[in-house]
Amino acid sequence: MKRTAAVILITLALCAAASAQSAASKPTRPRLNKATASGASKSTAAADGEVERLLDRYVLAQGGAGLLAVKTRIMRGGVEFSLSPVSGKFESYEKMPKKSLIAVNMPGGQFIEASDGGKRWIKSPWAVVSLAVAEDPLSSAGGLRGAGGFKWRSLFSSARVRGRAVVDGRETVVLAATPVGRGPVLMYFDAETGLLSKQEFVRPGGGKDEELQAIYIDSYATVDGLKVPALFRHVYPKFTMTFRVYEIKHNVHINDALFTDPNGN
């Protein structure tokens, strides 16, 4: 938080200095070149169209219009911790469009991370911590739930196709994007299937040891005609958690109270 505040203050200071220098020099206003402006507009439209086509392909790869029929999702499976030979279990609950909870049960106790749609809270055997804003803009498995039928600007304040990269031996298309109200991410879409392979979080200074660095989706399962992540990894600077899904249910009733912050915030 302090680092973020410092970056904002530095940015504001630089903007103020540039503004003061501009006012002092009083440069003449350049004439607008209509041909240049038109060319820039066309370039922006082409870039936006490239993003739109990439995300449309991803939505279709997941199941297209069928995604809109999913109101809730429950996932259960096993979880492996890279620093321990002992495995555990997890349960994940999602209520569209923005409520989610994942509970991980390990020998050391139960760990829960949840969002009520705007606020996030984390519960461990030692404490419950309330956070102002959910940090992960996407689901725990890295999906764009219910994105079909919306323009990308309803999800991201900015987005552009960066190019191509190889993830686990497969070619991917890389999207650099900033979800609305969140930090920037890099999203890697399989060039052949159109499905999301990796989501990487861009943090100033590389982030802290406890902060999630990336999510890898190693395989998908087909459930109710939809492609759902079945094997995915949460990668942190010093350890990795691997989630193996063995049960997925759609449109099962989930009580809203499940996502409520125990602290009452």
Is the CB of residue 241 less than 8 Å from the CB of residue 90?
A: no
- Which residue range forms the structural domain that includes residue 48? 42-259
CATH number for 58: 2.50.20.10
What is the SS3 assignment for 21?
helix
In a domain? residue 30:
no
pTM: 0.76
Q: Looking at the domain assignment, is residue 27 inside a domain?
A: no
Q: How far apart are CA 154 and CA 180, in angstroms?
A: 8
Q: Give the per-residue pLDDT at 10.
A: 26
Indicate whether 11 belongs to any domain.
Answer: no
The span from the CA of 32 to the CA of 239, in Å, is 54
d(CA 246, CA 108): 23
Q: What is the pLDDT of residue 46?
A: 86
Whether residue 29 is contained in a domain is answered as no
pLDDT at residue 98 in the model:
85
Q: Does 20 map to a domain?
A: no
Residue 79: partners with Cβ closer than 8 Å, 6 or more residues away: 87, 88, 89, 90, 104, 106, 241, 242, 243, 244
DSSP H stretches of helix in the chain = 2-25, 34-62
Structure tokens at 47: 């870039």
Could you give the CA distance from residue 72 to residue 260 in angstroms, rounded to a whole number?
16
* Domain assignment of residue 16, yes or no: no
- Across the 265 residues of the chain, what is the mean pLDDT of every consecutive 10-residue run? 29 31 41 56 82 93 93 97 93 93 92 89 92 52 46 83 96 94 92 97 74 94 96 94 96 95 81
* 60: alpha, beta or left? (left if phi > 0; alpha if psi -120 to 50): alpha
Which residues are 186's β-sheet partners?
176, 200
Would 161 be classed as within a structural domain?
yes
pLDDT at 36: 54
Tell me how many domains the chain contains.
1
Alpha-carbon gap, residue 60 to 196, rounded angstroms:
12
Tell whether 237 is covered by a domain: yes
Q: Is the distance from CB of 42 to CB of 215 less than 8 angstroms? A: no
